[in-house]
Amino acid sequence: MAVERIDYQAGSVTAKGALVWNEKVSGKRPLLLVMPNWLGVTDIAIKRAAKMAGDKYIAFVGCMYGEGRTSAGPPESGELMMSVRADRVEGRKRVKSALDTMVSEAGKRGIGDASKKAAVGFCFGGGNVLELARSGADVNAVVCLHGDLVTTMPAKKGDIKAAVFVIHGSKDPVAPKADRDALEAELDASGCNWQMLDFGGRLHSFAEEETMMAGVAEYHAGAAHQTYRMLDDFIQDAFNKKL
C-alpha cells in the first residue's frame, strides 16, 4: 500500500494527513475519509485506513490537531480533543478541509472517483464525521463508530445530505444512552436517512485494538469484525442508492 503524507490548511492550523491506496490497482476508486480517535494520525490509524481501503477505496486519514500531531494517551489526548470540541465551527472547518484535501489529492493523482465519497470516524473521529454530516457536506455516507454524539450545533431540517450510520456499544460510558436518544431525535428532525446499531454489552472503542481502558474502552474482536463488514456494506449501498 502506498502512504503519502500530505500537508494542507485546515481552519487555523496546518494539518498533516495521510493519503493511502493500493498503487498496484488501476482505475479510479471511491474515496474514504478516515478520522482517527483522540490519539491523532498515528501509525496504527494509518495502518487501519490501509486495511479498510484495500483494493476498493482511496483513503485519507485526516488531522484535527495540526502538524500531524499525535498523543500517547490521557491526559494529553483528552486536552487536545477538548480544545477542538470547544470550538465546533473551527472543528467543522478542519474536518471539511480533510474531505476537500482527499478529493483534491486523489484527483491530482488520477485515482479517485469524486462522485463516491464516504467518511468513517472512530471515537473522537466519530464526532468529527457527525459534524461533517451536520454541516451539509457533499458525502454519500457517514459512519460514526463508538463516537462523540453530542453537539452544540444540531442539524436542522434538510441540513444533512449524507446517509448516516451510527454503530455504538450499549454500555459505552463515554456516550451513554441519553446521548444516543438525543442524537436519534436530532437525526429524525433533520429528515436524513439514518441508522443506528447498538452492540449489546460492548463498551467504548470496541473496534480498535490499541485502545484499552478496563471498564471504559475495551476491544471486542467479534464486534469489530461485524462492524467493519457492516460499515462497508452500508457505504456500498449508499453509493449504489440502495438505502
Q: 192-210 pLDDT, tens per residue? A: 999 999 999 999 999 998 8
The reply to whether the predicted model has a pTM over 0.95 is: yes
Residues of the chain with pLDDT under 70: none
What pLDDT, on a 0 to 100 scale, did the predictor assign at position 210? 82
What does the pLDDT look like over 43-86, one tens digit per residue?
A: 999 999 999 999 999 999 999 999 999 998 899 999 999 999 99
Tally of domains within the chain: 1
DSSP secondary-structure letter at 155? P
Residue with cell 498523543: 71
Residue-by-residue DSSP string for 31-88 = EEEEE--TTBS-HHHHHHHHHHHTTT-EEEE--SSSTT-B-SSTTHHHHHHHHHHT-H
Distance in angstroms (rounded) separating the CA atoms of residues 208 and 218: 8
Helix (H) or strand (E) holding 102: helix 88-108
Note the pLDDT of residue 137.
98
CATH number at residue 127: 3.40.50.1820
Per-residue confidence (pLDDT) for residue 197, from 0 to 100: 98
Query: Residue 54: which domain range?
Result: 2-239
